[in-house]
Chains A and B, each alone.
Chain A
């Protein structure tokens, strides 16, 4: 029986080394091994999207990825969304539109929405709702979240 595995990967632009057991999910590695607790655990079975991260440009539920699978890959978590200059337009718009209450789902929504706005410039309400179907929120009721994402999309377009 093998012991822990050494994994080298890139998280939020920085090369990271960590040790994990093969059974540990990427979510557990981020939170418990690396202390990146911005990524939240909700259902832990791929239904709620609270643990969404960007893996090689695609959004995934980090609870359904093993830590050992991310050797040599690139990951963006909520901690990598803001820049040293300030909040990302998505974060700013979530604040301005009051698109969060308890906040547990928020990192997942923001990371998932970033995955959309990184790849698609022109999004409408239908596309945003479809894209975010894998993220659950129990308090805000989605409308404010959708409005925040649409507003962020506009601001990002204007900023070029």
Chain B
């Protein structure tokens, strides 16, 4: 790795001024599981690493049943799944937090970092999208909020402008009769990058028989994780049925624009989107009905 300086600011303001003064020569380090590998491989270059783990707002995990979750951007995966309130409220998020990398990676890697890294395959991004996640950003001009589905703009690119940092992710409180699930396909059992991933969330009526609303998001089948809006909207108002789930899975396939590469072909990935959409919808329905 080239020579690099290191600073660990303790306030958001300090981090923002550092980022603003150094422009693209400053890079944020949270868990370091992506940025250090990229700096070492010379796929990124920087003069200074800004460690954001000393900033309280980026380390916050606060959940309350009325207001939902505020998840600091640097909170590592293990702190999410070890938090019993969060694990009970957002099992769809836990699906992703507990399958990213191995235990060592989960000790460092964060959901905020996964978003900022903006890999098409970011496993935690579809669940954050389908759970209605909002990215809280701070910059030289103040703060702004961006829906999670709009955060990643291209492979490795995101909406952050010069001087801006991702502070936290807000998830609304889970509604009664709602459920979510994330699944990915990898050829191994653990420690791999998704060939395709799908997150689904559903809100059912009180009897658990009809869809009130649904969201479906895809990973590894487009330049960024994507919200398959039409797929989710196709379920609104319909009775829960195999036919409705099948139709949504076909619409999800239509929303995918995969490429063929070393991990999979267009055909395999399209097929996987169909299978994983049906499985995640069915498991989200079970969770919404309290059957899991």
Which residues on the B side are within 8 Å of A2 (C-beta)? 5-6
Tell me if A60 counts as interface (CB < 8 A to partner B): yes
Which residues on the B side are within 8 Å of A49 (C-beta)? 102, 104
A interface SS class: mixed
User: Interface size class for chain B?
Assistant: 20 to 34
- Mark A31-58 against chain B: 1 for CB-CB distance below 8 A, else 0: 0000000000000111101001001001
- Mark B29-65 against chain A: 1 for CB-CB distance below 8 A, else 0: 1011100110111000000010101000000000000
Tell me if A107 counts as interface (CB < 8 A to partner B): no
Are B6 and A66 closer than 8 Å at their CB atoms?
Answer: yes
Are B102 and A45 closer than 8 Å at their CB atoms?
Answer: no
Are A23 and B51 closer than 8 Å at their CB atoms?
Answer: no
Give the residue of B41, B51, B103, B108 whose beta carbon is less than 8 angstroms from that of A131.
B103
CB nearest to A59 among chain B residues: B104
Tell me if B101 counts as interface (CB < 8 A to partner A): yes
Nearest-CB distance from A136 to chain B (Å)? 9
Number of interface residues of A (CB under 8 A): 34
Nearest-CB distance from B83 to chain A (Å)? 15
Give the residue of A21, A65, A68, A112 whose beta carbon is less than 8 angstroms from that of B108.
A65
Are A64 and B4 closer than 8 Å at their CB atoms?
Answer: no
Give the residue of B51, B101, B104 whose beta carbon is less than 8 angstroms from that of A52.
B104
A58 to B108, CA, bound (A): 9
Which residues on the A side are within 8 Å of B29 (C-beta)? 66
Nearest-CB distance from A109 to chain B (Å)? 12
Are B107 and A46 closer than 8 Å at their CB atoms?
Answer: no
A44-B40, A46-B101, A58-B78 known; A64 and B108 CB under 8 Å?
Answer: yes
Which residues on the A side are within 8 Å of B105 (C-beta)? 46, 61, 64, 134
Which residues on the B side are within 8 Å of A66 (C-beta)? 6, 29, 32, 36, 49, 51
Which residues on the B side are within 8 Å of A21 (C-beta)? 3
Max chain B C-beta neighbours (<10 A), residue from A5, A115, A133: A133
A125 to B105, CA, bound (A): 21
Are A112 and B51 closer than 8 Å at their CB atoms?
Answer: no
Which residues on the A side are within 8 Å of B262 (C-beta)? none
Which residues on the A side are within 8 Å of B292 (C-beta)? none
Which residues on the A side are within 8 Å of B5 (C-beta)? 1-2, 22
Nearest-CB distance from A80 to chain B (Å)? 17
Top 10 A-B residue pairs of the complex, sorted by shortest distance between their CB atoms = A134-B102, A133-B190, A22-B6, A58-B107, A23-B1, A45-B37, A134-B104, A61-B104, A133-B102, A60-B107
